[in-house]
Amino acid sequence: MSSDDRRAGYALVETGTLAEFEVTSTHVEPAPDGESFFVRVQMQLGGPEAGDGEDQVEWVAFGFMFVLAVLSFADARPRGYSGEHFVEEDEFHVADFLAGLQFVRGELHLDLDYLRGRCVKTSIRVRRDGTVTLETRGRGQSALRWPELLKGKKRLELVS
């Protein structure tokens, strides 16, 4: 990754981690294979001190989407034949973000499928009113904890 790409990524992460948001609903559905899941997390940008979601979208949307994509990429593992392209120490790049980003019918869309051997299978939608939909397909339930990580909450781990 070039130093310019890394600086741009850090700027997006900085902006994305400043976002105020609330999780408004979650939905988990087992996939037909019985081993993976479809996960949907609905969020609302904004908060009591941040103002309404529309104000937040103007300055935080790209960073918020980028941070969620970084978390998704970090948790993604190979699936099927993709293992031959998997690199353990790989990073999510700004170029990966831009390649999956689209503006569709007034919404920002980020769609990630397989990236360098990782089964990312993540979609993020940010709407003008500040509502955000995060979906993962054919993966575990790790997407349920990304909003908590983004808020700085630590995972509980069993101590023996």
Looking at per-residue pLDDT, the higher value among 83 and 124 belongs to: 124
Check residue 159 and give its pLDDT: 66
Q: What is the pLDDT of residue 82?
A: 57
Q: How far apart are CA 100 and CA 109, in angstroms?
A: 8
Q: Between 132 and 52, whose confidence is greater?
A: 132
Q: What is the rounded radius of gyration, in angstroms, for the C-alpha atoms of the chain?
A: 16
24, two tokens:
């408004």
Sheet-wide strand order for 37-45: 21-30, 37-45, 131-139, 118-126, 107-115, 101-104
Q: What mean pLDDT value characterizes the chain?
A: 88
Domain ranges of the chain: 3-149
Mean pLDDT within 129-149: 93
Does residue 156 surpass a pLDDT of 60?
no
Residues 6+ apart with CB under 8 A from 121: 76, 112, 113, 114, 136, 137, 138, 139
For residue 1, the model assigns a pLDDT of 66
- Grade residue 76 by pLDDT with cuts at 50, 70 and 90: confident
Can you name the residues that pair with 44 across neighbouring β-strands?
22, 131
